[in-house]
Chains A and B, each alone.
Chain A
Amino acid sequence: SQTIHQWPATLVQPVGSPLSLECTVEGTSNPNLYWYRQAAGRGLQLLFYSVGIGQISSEVPQNLSASRPQDRQFILSSKKLLLSDSGFYLCAWTKAGADSYEQYFGPGTRLTVT
């Protein structure tokens, strides 16, 4: 069966510090991968998605970047955090192909920028 991991689970970082959040998927190959942010108002905002190694699409121009160095690894980064980067970050995956469109989410990382 497939599982998705995210770490760290919680993070408190000062403004201006760098960020690296990691997401890995087990039990599947060549998944589509996604980063979402959920702010306090509950809405889910798609930040980045990737259909393969090194292939990153950005949905919203911002202070963040993403990378996919391996097939089942997706990393969210920032060089200098802003207060507005605080939120709940969720990684998700879906099977590439025509039969499955539901996304499966990881446990999330709660980021507080102080």
Chain B
Amino acid sequence: AQKVTQAQTEISVVEKEDVTLDCVYETRDTTYYLFWYKQPPSGELVFLIRRNSFDEQNEISGRYSWNFQKSTSSFNFTITASQVVDSAVYFCALSGLNSGGSNYKLTFGKGTLLTVNP
């Protein structure tokens, strides 16, 4: 069975601080995909990034960066110089290529509520 753990339930920072959101996953699949989603107060989940299990290169997109480490089964998300607009719930998710013969089910973590204060 697949499992995603986001141990940080809530994080509060002051604007311009850097913040890292942790994600640890469990899977028996040899090929899998990891995702991060943002859920602002409006409620809609916004897709941020997908990483393939065979590509461990870290990725940077503006103030966002992702650190994927298979050795520790972690896929952490860092926001640099946080802004008030970054306040949201962030979800990490996992999709396995061979999960029961299907590849279209996402397993979500419980989310981390990030509050960025001015």
Contact = CB atoms under 8 A, between A and B. Distances in A.
The judgment on whether A and B are partners is: yes
Interface of A: 32, 41-44, 46, 49, 51, 88, 90, 92, 94, 101-108, 110
Given A42-B111, A49-B105, A94-B104, A105 B50 contact: no
Q: Secondary structure at chain B's binding surface: helix, strand, loop or mixed? A: strand
Interface of B: 33, 35, 37, 42-47, 50, 89, 91, 95, 103-106, 108, 110-111, 113
Contact of A101 (B37, B44, B104): B104
B44 A107 contact: yes
Contact of B110 (A41, A46, A51, A90): A41
B104 A49 contact: yes
A103 B89 contact: no
B95 A107 contact: no
